[in-house]
Amino acid sequence: MKQLIIIVSFCLIAIGCGNTINVNGKVTLDDGTPVTKGFINFNNGTYEARGVIQKDGTYQVETDASGRGLKKGNYKVYFSGTNDLDQKLNPVPIIDSKYDSAETTDLTISITTKTVFSPTLKAVEK
């Protein structure tokens, strides 16, 4: 009986490990500079996950032990919180507004397992 419990536990762990999804990369503007803050959002129409963009433009999104996070599937990718502030603390967009929502973005990704996704975004015309 003890051996059966060990075998079943091992199988459950192995099955769970196969469901781990990890997406990482670097978000840059079309002039090559990194996007230094904000969130990258993955939306499949019924489910959404997001990751924090670090100061060097990198991000990572993954499933956690409870299964929260990314799931396999096709996603639209959009961004939030990327605005800079002017001297009066008003938000100033740095990326084209088409990347502001799942409805307007043209970025898509199909996620199955570990994926590297490094989008280059059109900057706002100055």
**Exposure of 26 by Cβ count < 10 A (0-12 exposed, 13-18 middle, 19+ buried)?**
middle
pLDDT in tens, 76-122: 999 999 999 888 888 899 999 999 999 999 999 999 888 999 999 99
Q: Which residue has the tokens 């963009």?
A: 53
| Distance of alpha carbon 35 from alpha carbon 29, whole angstroms | 7
Domains and CATH numbers, the chain: 21-121 (2.60.40.1120)
- 14-37 confidence digits (pLDDT tens): 444 446 789 999 999 999 999 999
**Rounded distance, CA 118 to CA 77, Å?**
11
pTM of the model as a whole: 0.81
The pair of structure tokens assigned to 92 is: 């100033």
